[in-house]
Structure 1
Amino acid sequence: MPSLFDPVQAGDLRLANRIVMAPLTRNRSPNAIPQDIAATYYAQRATAGLLITEATAISHQGQGYADVPGLYGTEQLDAWKRVTDAVHAKGGKIVVQLWHVGRVSHTELQPDGGKPVAPSAITARTKTVLIKDGIPTFVETSEPRALDAEELPGIVHAYAAAARNAVETAGFDGVELHGANGYLLDQFLKDGSNKRTDDYGGSIENRARLLLEATRAVVDAVGGGRTGIRLSPVTPANDVHDSDPQPLFTYVVKQLAPLGLAYIHIIEGATGGPREIEDRPFDYEALKAAYRQAGGRGAWMVNNGYDKPLADEAVKEGDDLVAFGKPFIANPDLVRRLRENAPLNAVDKATMYGGDIKGYTDYPALD
């Protein structure tokens, strides 16, 4: 039986263990540029088998929160190169999460103060973050506009360009498309947010079209073995839902299977909440089986509320990778602590979003 600490292959990525640092938004990148402390932060956590960066905007339009990083400018890419160099110097592997937030944004964050974009002009009942008087402040999202079909190829191109820049210029080992948590690709997938009547709305095949086009474009840009994707079948995050998620996500993973992806990253249950949602049942084992039966060979990564015993059980039952989120914020040496069954530092919730080194690079490691 494999253990959590055994190496594993994920596409082109040979990982030293099966512990993954999940993407964690920290709002410490003014002007969408990662600061020097980001290199320290990620390098401190490089003992993870794989680091997935905080979600990173593929374009200015794709930004939805203040002080989150981007991949569309020279300064951004140069800053990320310092991060990847620091991680590689510690022997780690790091991929960047490609992000377009869609409607989960605010006019203050959009180019020329424009409306956020979405599959349909339905405002998300959720909040985003602006900086007010130097303080991260939660505000209601702005009313979006529906994307014209003619705009969608440009968004697909932005995903591919960001992926190519990430690997070829910024030095990342790969990329992960953010297709989860109620952001743009997830908004198109789910019928609660997608009311289109063109080729990108209505049927499962149509609603999945943008996600699949973006994924294929990224694979063409950097190779399937360097590409992962994150999916969240039933999370209510950012006001998304689907009336029948099992056949929707079964179709998606069957279409992803031939692309030779490095991994599929599945959020089980509600992001940051319960692993099972009473009114949104979902069979994750059946989803994994559908992917394998369709020829999918990428690593299967599970996420949401995992501790050491639950992670051990997941690996024994055939999951290849386990992603840990908040524990990595407060425990830069989480891999060692899990291996030694050592106590974990608690997260300082007051310093999670915005700020400087406090609550970012100053959490203590074991002696």
Structure 2
Amino acid sequence: MATLFSPLTIGDLKLSNRIVMAPMTRRRALHGKIPGELTALYYAQRASAALIISESTEVDPHSGIAIPTRPGLTNGAQEAGWRQVTDAVHGAGGTIFVQLSHMGRTAHPSQLLDGRQPVGPSALAGTGTIYTANGPEPYVTPRALETPEISTIVSEFAAASARAKSAGFDGIEIHGANGYLIDQFLRDGSNIRTDTYGGSVENRARFLLEIIDAIKLYWPVNRLGVRLSPTNPYQGMSDSDPIRHFAEIAGLLDPLGLAYLHMVEPPVQLEGYPVTAAAIRAAFKGPLIRAGGFKRADADNVLAAGKADLVALGEAFIANPDLPERWRLRAPLNAADKATFYTQGPKGYTDYPSLELVED
């Protein structure tokens, strides 16, 4: 029976526990979407995680550079910034994958270079607002990608993955969740295309599978993970039959030999939303990471029942850089200061005390 502190091998990586640091946007990148020394310290502080998955990192070279912002991995300066991070994490004994993403329709025109407009699988806008340099702005209707343009974006994912290898990352997580471009293709609430990238599950998954194939030119497939969020409504996302559709998507991913599949679904599902975890677990036989607001007891239960192989935590890792040790000792946790999640500087980023400092 697996526990939080059972070792696990994914691909050719040996992990010391089952507690993963989830990808979390923190908007601390410097001008030019470059990670700095503060980011290196932030991740190194959390190196006791079984695996760190970086914040969402842009593959789009046309994404703007105004701060506060997310980091990118499209040029040499960004690559060098990430090298500081991976060196710091490895120096602290940790393992780190970079999460690669494209915002698609969730970008705002003010965030794009050369007067470009957001793009998506279809001309359907997200709902809600996006945080920009000028404050919250409503989503705009994207331009539907022309079929030949899709291969260009696939190439951008591949190019960023090559830079990730040069930057010293241990692997890649492909962000197919939470309303970003790949997720926009996967779900039929945002994809109403009639070409080979729309309609059937196989067609809607084609973009993701082409990205995986392109990245495999630079990385062994057992160093690639994929993140999915079948029912997350964030940014206006929906699907007509997520249990069936995402079980089929998981089945398409299963024979590829991925390092893991990472799915976002809370341990107690939101009222009115279907539970997809069992169907996905049945369809995907490789290592499965579960995320979605798990507490210690939830994590214990899903691992003991074989419903997941690892559990990813977000907010708990923000406030507790030594979260695995605190859970091992069943020690109290620091409370997260949500007001500083997306601000600048060290406050609420690198100044949370470890248990050792609290006890001193």
Does TM, scored on the shorter chain, surpass 0.5?
yes
Does residue 289 (structure 1) correspond to residue 289 (structure 2)? The answer is no
Counterpart-to-counterpart distance in 2, 1:38 and 1:307: 26
Q: Which residue of 2 aligns with 1:190?
A: 187
Q: Which residue of 1 aligns with 2:236?
A: 239
Counterpart-to-counterpart distance in 2, 1:316 and 1:12: 23
Aligned counterpart in structure 2 of residue 120 of structure 1, from 119, 122, 143: 122
Q: Which residue of 1 aligns with 2:302?
A: 314
Aligned counterpart in structure 2 of residue 95 of structure 1, from 90, 97, 110: 97
- 1:275: Cα distance to partner? 3.6
Does residue 154 (structure 1) correspond to residue 152 (structure 2)? The answer is yes
Q: Which residue of 2 aligns with 1:56?
A: 57
Does residue 359 (structure 1) correspond to residue 359 (structure 2)? The answer is no
Q: Which residue of 1 aligns with 2:321?
A: 332
Q: Which residue of 1 aligns with 2:5?
A: 5
Counterpart-to-counterpart distance in 1, 2:42 and 2:130: 24
Q: More deviation in 7-16 or 234-243? A: 7-16
Contact 1:63 1:105 in 2 (8 A): no
Counterpart-to-counterpart distance in 1, 2:216 and 2:179: 23
Q: What SS does the corresponding residue of 1:201 show, helix, strand or coil? A: coil
| Deviation sequence 1:32-76 (CA, Å, 0-9, x none) | 101110010000000001000000001234679951100101010
Q: What SS does the corresponding residue of 1:128 show, helix, strand or coil? A: strand
Contact 2:63 2:111 in 1 (8 A): no
Q: What SS does the corresponding residue of 1:355 show, helix, strand or coil? A: coil
Aligned counterpart in structure 1 of residue 209 of structure 2, from 196, 207, 212: 212
Counterpart-to-counterpart distance in 2, 1:353 and 1:114: 25
Contact 1:63 1:101 in 2 (8 A): no
**Structure 1, unpaired ranges of 5+:** none
Q: Aligned letter for 1:348?
A: D
Contact 1:66 1:129 in 2 (8 A): no
Counterpart-to-counterpart distance in 1, 2:305 and 2:136: 40
Q: What SS does the corresponding residue of 1:222 show, helix, strand or coil? A: coil
Q: Which residue of 1 aligns with 2:257?
A: 260
Does residue 29 (structure 1) correspond to residue 18 (structure 2)? The answer is no
- 1:242: Cα distance to partner? 0.5
Q: Aligned letter for 2:54?
A: T
Aligned counterpart in structure 2 of residue 139 of structure 1, from 118, 137, 145: 137
- 1:107: Cα distance to partner? 0.5
Q: Aligned letter for 1:41?
A: Y
Counterpart-to-counterpart distance in 2, 1:78 and 1:226: 21
TM-score by length of 2: 0.95
Counterpart-to-counterpart distance in 1, 2:77 and 2:128: 31
Q: Aligned letter for 1:323?
A: A
Identity %: 48
Does residue 280 (structure 1) correspond to residue 235 (structure 2)? The answer is no
Q: Aligned letter for 1:229?
A: V
Counterpart-to-counterpart distance in 1, 2:144 and 2:12: 37
Q: More deviation in 53-62 or 71-80? A: 53-62
Counterpart-to-counterpart distance in 2, 1:66 and 1:179: 24
- 1:246: Cα distance to partner? 1.6
| Alignment CA distance shift 1:351-1:84 (3 Å) | same
- 1:77: Cα distance to partner? 0.4
Contact 2:126 2:235 in 1 (8 A): yes
Tell me how large the CA RMSD over aligned residues is. 1.5
| Alignment CA distance shift 1:143-1:198 (3 Å) | same
- 1:283: Cα distance to partner? 3.4
Counterpart-to-counterpart distance in 2, 1:346 and 1:282: 29
| Alignment CA distance shift 1:17-1:62 (3 Å) | farther
Does residue 83 (structure 1) correspond to residue 81 (structure 2)? The answer is no
Counterpart-to-counterpart distance in 2, 1:220 and 1:288: 28
Aligned counterpart in structure 1 of residue 106 of structure 2, from 94, 101, 104: 104
Counterpart-to-counterpart distance in 1, 2:253 and 2:12: 17
Contact 2:36 2:84 in 1 (8 A): no
Contact 1:20 1:323 in 2 (8 A): yes
Q: Aligned letter for 1:149?
A: T
Q: What SS does the corresponding residue of 1:108 show, helix, strand or coil? A: helix
Counterpart-to-counterpart distance in 2, 1:249 and 1:278: 19
Does residue 129 (structure 1) correspond to residue 131 (structure 2)? The answer is yes
Q: Which residue of 2 aligns with 1:19?
A: 19
